[in-house]
Amino acid sequence: MCGANVLSVIVATGRNSGAKRELANGTYRFGSDLECEIVLFGSDMPAFAFTLEIDGNRPKISVETGSIRLEARHSVPTAELAAGKSTRLDMPAIVHVGSTCLLFTDATPIGGVTGDDAEHRATGRPGLLVAGGAAVLAVIASLAIGSASFGSDPDPLALVNERLKGLGLGGELLLEQSGDGTPHIRGVLGNDDRIAEVREAFADIDVGLTLSPTATIEPALRSILREENEHVRWTLMDRGAVRLEGIVAESMTRDSIGRSLANIVPGIAATENRLVTITEVGEAVSVKLAELELADELSVQRVEGELSLAGSVARMQQDRIGELLEWYERRYGMYRRLRLDISGARENDPLDRLQAIILDDDPRLVMNGKRHVRPGEEIGDGWILETISESGIAIFRQGEVRTVNF
């Protein structure tokens, strides 16, 4: 029916389901010439991503744009093909391009084969892929489950995913594919009964299961944390991921806690690390003190692993202390308390922040932060600079006047 250099293409599902087309030597684009983009291309594989070149009995796949991953069995090892690269395949070979399977063989066309033989040919058993002279390419889509044209096996990942959805766990567990193509499920579930339910649901399928109960996370964290005053909160996310938030003693603990936790609780597929160290919290508090203009009055200290504020503030600055504590409570309060060691309030001298006096054509005071204050402007705490001269300065607030003589 065909010469030795002719390729038969049989579409399993899609627009031309069951159709067969014979191709002579040449180059053909998937998605246009072969008109099977419904079968071949998914959301992660754009149309015209690669071409098929027929040269005798050795088909060659060439990538045009992007890249595709080829996992060829019976011939060449796994390879990543990028644009401008190509590879030749010695038959027989089964090539997996994403979730799509391309079957190359010297067998006779299998469009009319039914029953057990059709199933064996679709799965690519080498002993049944030897015959006649024409090369056959079977395009088997991941959704071609129970195809009448082939009798092909359902895609394992699709089958496992459907069962997960049936259990209501489609978003809770992570479905992966191991190096040998076997589906693998990983995640954390509420209790042992739920895990047993999942194991029973997949008892008849070749699938790897790495599942852990949520009750194992808390004791695992306690075994990892090095100090009693380290506080970490965990939240179970989608697809087996765990978010970690809290305060730890040092960066070494912060950076390693995710890896250590996954080793103890193997069901954890990934960790989102939002931990901070005590030192980083102290630095954040110092920045906030500067924003509130309290850096001169208060300092952050670390005593026995705890953070504290030490110093004294004026009566008019009490509201700023309240603002600082509200900020800390929102950001860190659930993990660690901030101690206060603030002495009795005193009335600030308005000139405590004075750094220099400049007497020239533009007389002015230089305050902390290189802030320049001229007559009529506020020094701080409501005090206004009234006059400045070689003999001294005068300031006033709400009828109260103070003079400082040089």
pLDDT for position 170: 76
Spell out a b/e string for 248-263, using b for 16 or more CB atoms within 10 Å of the CB, else e: bbeeebbeebbebbbe
pLDDT for position 21: 52
Looking up tokens 């950076």, which residue turns up? Answer: 255
- Digit-by-digit pLDDT tens for the chain (406 residues) are 233 334 444 333 333 434 445 556 666 665 455 543 333 333 344 444 567 676 655 667 676 666 665 554 444 455 566 666 666 655 545 555 444 445 444 433 323 222 233 222 222 222 222 222 222 333 333 222 233 333 344 577 888 888 888 888 878 888 888 877 889 999 999 888 889 999 988 888 888 999 999 999 999 988 888 665 678 889 999 888 999 998 888 877 788 888 899 889 999 999 998 998 888 999 999 999 999 888 888 888 887 777 888 888 777 677 788 888 889 988 888 888 888 877 655 556 677 788 889 988 899 999 887 889 999 999 887 889 999 988 889 898 877 778 887 7
Q: What number of CA atoms fall less than 13 Å from residue 152's CA on the CB side? A: 28
pLDDT for position 284: 92
Q: Does domain 7-140 have CATH number 2.60.200?
A: yes
pLDDT for position 138: 35
Q: How far apart are CA 131 and CA 106, in angstroms?
A: 6
Q: How far apart are CA 402 and CA 353, in angstroms?
A: 16
CATH class entry, domain 279-342: alpha beta
Reported residue count of the chain is: 406
pLDDT for position 365: 92
Q: Where are the domains of the chain?
A: 7-140, 279-342, 354-405
Alpha helices (H) along 26-171: 37-40, 115-123, 156-166
pTM equals 0.46
Kind plus residue range of the DSSP H or E element containing 326:
helix 318-331
Spell out a b/e string for 293-330, using b for 16 or more CB atoms within 10 Å of the CB, else e: ebbebbebeeeeeebbbebebbeebeebbeebeebbee
- Residue 61 β-bridge partners: 52, 87
Cβ-in-10-Å burial (0-12, 13-18, 19+) of 178 comes to: exposed
| Dihedral, CA of residue 205, residue 152, residue 101 and residue 270, to nearest 10 | -20
The dihedrals phi and psi of 72, each to the nearest 5 degrees, come to -90, 130
**In this structure, what token pair is assigned to residue 395?**
């300031």
